[in-house]
A and B are shown apart, each in its own frame.
Chain A
């Protein structure tokens, strides 16, 4: 009883912590200047509150109960009901803990320019809500908050007209994505498919499998979320100036929206498996990944490459989810988030021995080095992809190219970064971040699953509840598959390092590379590979169509055609009246003249008003006459 009560309190403390975090964010939006000396503390306390709830859950031995799912807009059990409900599992735990710590570090280490503090709080609330949501409704609220935080952060950094390209592209892409995803989800709801991330919901989906409406609705949800995950269709913005600090760029424009949207993909994974739409998702994400890798080679500065990288990693995670399942997806997402944030902190800091070493480990871990959990993620990706052999080869080439560029970030930093001293506490805190994706926590092995059949398993670790949780989810690889997948992984890993080292530009070529050799391709890449032009072209065509329609309807019909018809009618009447007038004048009989002149004059007289009066009188008279003739 007591334990149940405690669990109840703990699960409520999570949502209360998030509510307070959001409340702090809203408070700071309106009182940022007044509270400027305390901004840092608002962020630290705000983010720490939900984390504290998680720590309490941890100390309570992970006895977590899901909150009951409730109807939000419509009664819970009725068709079309949008539900809300949440619960923390260990997938939520790892991601939120990592991002929460990184956000606290961000607030403590760097100054907080305009709107960054409230954006951090609102973004964290959004992402945490998304990952703990047990229903699509709540996850989408979280996603909205995550996107809102990105928009706010960029608006805060806005200084002149050049800045608005990024803001406009980011908001337009994400909001259009949201709208499409929502409309698709309404379709699913109308088909009777509940949008809860539960087994019962999967059954409802399975019943509808094969229905065209279901496929269309799912496609809309996927397309909408895909637009949020990646700037695939608005790549030109990647070539534009962005004033956000590199850590903020990574958080607001990549991690908050994309990782939030990825959580929805993950939670719908079983649903998508039953409806056979997972492969389409995989093909789309692989193609988009290849498209986004190309521009990477036309960027020379480490920060530019890094920013581009931030928009790529969610796509790799999505590809892993499509082909290999939830575990590799999760572990790669977690690794990417931690290592990209670490790299962001480091490449924006002065160079010294510690920072260079830490950056090396960040890249090493990111690329799936021995001892880090990403290694296991990559191995799973290649192992599971056997059945998707046609996609495996381009995926392997893509990964090779990306890893080459990742090593170049490190090499470029080593060469070009200014030497300086970083405070010890900053470096120490980054080392704590480095511990989060350690292979031991997720695989119970020293190597992070990089060795066959768990020969390096640490039995004592498997008794720790959370290690056991992750370890139990880890799919097993047989000996032969392991040899193939680990060969591919390590060949890519080592080859990429060698290529990066041996293809370093000469001093006089630095910062140029492919851009210098292929300026037209660079221009094409910078303009978003034609997507933006297509978008601009379509927009201008729609605007022109709207203009013509408006002109046609308003000018031609209302202002020209209709008055012309009535003018014609009244001209004819006038002419008729004139003829009658002339006829009456021509008639010699005075009596006849009076007889004809009177109606003629009446017609003339009636023309002295505005056009509409005639319509009005005409209609009213017609109605009066009709009333007269009505018989019941």
Chain B
């Protein structure tokens, strides 16, 4: 686990050794790949029984403050680990020929990989916070240095939101830390029952620790995820960065925030979940509605991706709010599948931008005649996002809807209408890009080997997990079942 989390830092440091572009690229790719392979081996090892579920590492860090270096890979985070391990090396391949501050870009991406893996695996609240704060820095530089014309404004917004988010999360964590005696940050040592009984005093008013810390952490995570109504900054950031870097920012946001929310919510505040479940579901529906309606008028590929991210954060919240095993496993799969889907579509956008210098979908047309493979690949990505069987999105969607239908059948009907609108819109977008009239009429360079190399693993992952989801379901489900049993 430590190799997986920290090896990219070594790659980032290696960027200072030599200014040669080839060295920079290969060092970055190898470091990212070593980390990814460690993650993949770990997840496969859990499935094959080589490693335990959960696999843990706990080493005291600052004992006097009860801070530990505690990492874990279990059912709750294994899919996100897998997602990051699959996509991050591909982002480095997509940025292979970027000439602007190449070494800095590689170092920043590697640092981001470390921080997101650290945040998702950390089992100590302080370590969670440490990596959570760390994510903000590379994300800021990615926007601020490699963004578009208004990058400074967007980066500023992003860092301000990150800082506010950090403040909320930190305060929530501190409340928990001080509420327990002896103080501890280690998640498995925190007794949720004790937390529920503890109260603190503010201006002579007795307030419950559990409710306040849950609210603070939830708002902190929602700011960064992003969740409506805190999503405005994300769209602005999306429109400023190249779509491949948007993929990195998406991975650093939604999957991490929602997985942390599930883990912390169901572990530390299990008795609060039934009370807030309806609120989570309503928030999910609002997110989905806002995203779908806003998406219908969007022409910029990156804007569409940002709304897709928002829409799926709504879908995932719907799963988390069910507090049922299919719903929660579905949410976990949905984080994984939308991560792969957005990565794939982000890479498609970059492929097109590289050739035509535009992210505007109206600028394209009849691409199926020029780059038929891209048409096939893009159709697979869209089909996966929409949950067509045989692709990973189907697993997430089916479990999510099954979980949701059992509790709120009529809500599912409303969600279905929104989902169908999104389906129609994505088809319309596909039609604009690949069919219709060619507005520019230029020739388009065919696929290069490098481009095939970053699309191929995504397609394979989508199909493989879509056709044989059983092994991954059986890693996620026991953790979810035990969390639900503890809650009940």
Q: Which residues of A contact B (CB under 8 A)?
A: 29, 71-75, 79-80, 82, 137, 140-141, 144, 151, 155, 158-161, 163-164, 167-168, 171-172, 175-176, 178-180, 182-183, 186-187, 189-191, 213, 216-217, 220, 539, 542-547, 549-550, 553-554, 557-558, 610, 612-613, 615-616, 619-620, 623, 626-627, 629-632
Contacts and interface: CB of A to CB of B under 8 A. Distances in A.
Given A186-B405, A554-B232, A610-B156, A158 B201 contact: no
A190 B178 CA distance: 43
B435 A619 contact: no
A80 B399 contact: yes
Interface of B: 156-157, 160, 163-164, 167-168, 171, 174-175, 178-179, 198, 200-203, 232, 235, 290, 292-298, 326, 365-366, 368-369, 372, 375-376, 379, 383, 386-390, 394-395, 397-399, 401-406, 409-410, 412-413, 416, 419-421, 423-424, 427-428, 431, 435-437, 469-470, 473, 477
Given A72-B470, A80-B326, A80-B402, A615 B160 contact: yes
A631 B201 contact: yes
Contacts of B473: 73-74
A616 B160 contact: yes
A632 B178 contact: yes
Contact of B294 (A71, A179, A550): A550
Given A75-B477, A179-B387, A623-B168, 5 more contacts: A73-B473, A151-B379, A179-B419, A630-B175, A630-B201
A546 B421 CA distance: 11
Contact of A178 (B200, B292, B365, B388): B388
Contact of B296 (A182, A545, A616): A545
Contact of B427 (A137, A140, A168, A217): A168
A148 B401 CA distance: 24
12 contacts: A73-B399, A155-B375, A164-B436, A175-B388, A176-B423, A179-B387, A216-B413, A546-B293, A546-B294, A626-B171, A630-B200, A632-B179
Contacts of A161: 365-366, 435-437
Nearest to A167: B435
Contacts of B168: 623
A623 B171 contact: yes
B180 to A, nearest CB: 10
Contact of B398 (A73, A553, A619, A627): A73
A553 B287 CA distance: 13
| Chain A binding surface, main DSSP class | helix
A623 B160 contact: no
Given A182-B398, A539-B424, A144 B297 contact: no
Nearest to A183: B416
Nearest to B369: A158
Contacts of B293: 542, 545-546, 549-550
Contact of A163 (B175, B395, B435): B435
A183 B419 contact: yes
B364 to A, nearest CB: 13
Contact of A82 (B297, B369, B375, B398): B398
Contacts of B178: 630, 632
A176 B297 contact: no
B435 A553 contact: no
A158 B365 CA distance: 12
Nearest to A71: B470
Contacts of B394: 182
Contacts of B179: 632
B416 A158 contact: no
Contacts of B200: 630-632
A220 B416 contact: yes
A615 B161 CA distance: 10
A612 B159 CA distance: 10
B465 to A, nearest CB: 11
Contact of A182 (B157, B387, B404): B387
A181 to B, nearest CB: 11
Contacts of B389: 137, 140-141, 144, 182
Contacts of B427: 168, 171-172, 175
B334 to A, nearest CB: 13
Contacts of B386: 175, 179
Contacts of B398: 73, 82, 182, 186
B403 to A, nearest CB: 7
A554 B307 CA distance: 13
B431 A612 contact: no
A140 B156 CA distance: 48
Contacts of A73: 395, 398-399, 469-470, 473
Contacts of A547: 296-297
A542 B417 CA distance: 12
A254 to B, nearest CB: 21
A18 B314 CA distance: 38
A168 B435 contact: yes
A15 to B, nearest CB: 13
Q: Which 3 pairs across A and B sit closest by C-beta, in order of nearness?
A: A546-B296, A164-B435, A547-B297
A627 B171 contact: yes
Interface centre among B202, B235, B435, B470 (most CB of A within 10 A): B435
B164 A616 contact: yes
Contacts of A631: 200-202
B167 A217 contact: no
Contacts of B387: 179, 182
B390 A141 contact: yes
A149 to B, nearest CB: 13
Contacts of A167: 431, 435
Contact of A629 (B203, B397, B423, B469): B203
B441 to A, nearest CB: 12
A544 B375 CA distance: 28
A553 to B, nearest CB: 7
Contact of A630 (B167, B202, B372, B399): B202
B412 A187 contact: yes
A207 B366 CA distance: 52
Nearest to A610: B156
A619 B164 contact: yes
Contacts of B470: 71-73
B63 to A, nearest CB: 22
Given A80-B399, A155-B368, A546 B295 contact: yes
B163 to A, nearest CB: 6
Contacts of B390: 141, 144
Contacts of A620: 163-164, 167
B220 to A, nearest CB: 11
Contacts of A144: 388-390
Contact of B298 (A79, A545, A550): A550
A242 B193 CA distance: 67
Nearest to B298: A550
A218 to B, nearest CB: 12
A160 B428 CA distance: 17
Specify which of B232, B388, B405, B469 lies most central, judged by the most chain A CB atoms within 10 Å of its CB: B405
B190 to A, nearest CB: 15
A565 to B, nearest CB: 14
A620 B168 CA distance: 9
Given A164-B436, A183-B401, A613 B295 contact: no
A164 B297 contact: no
A630 B174 CA distance: 11
B294 A553 contact: yes
A172 B379 CA distance: 13
A16 to B, nearest CB: 16
B424 A172 contact: yes
A176 B366 contact: no
Given A158-B368, A158-B369, A186-B402, A72 B469 contact: yes
Contacts of A553: 232, 290, 294
B295 A190 contact: no
Contacts of A74: 326, 399, 473
Contact of B201 (A82, A542, A558, A632): A632
A187 B405 contact: yes
Contacts of A545: 293, 296
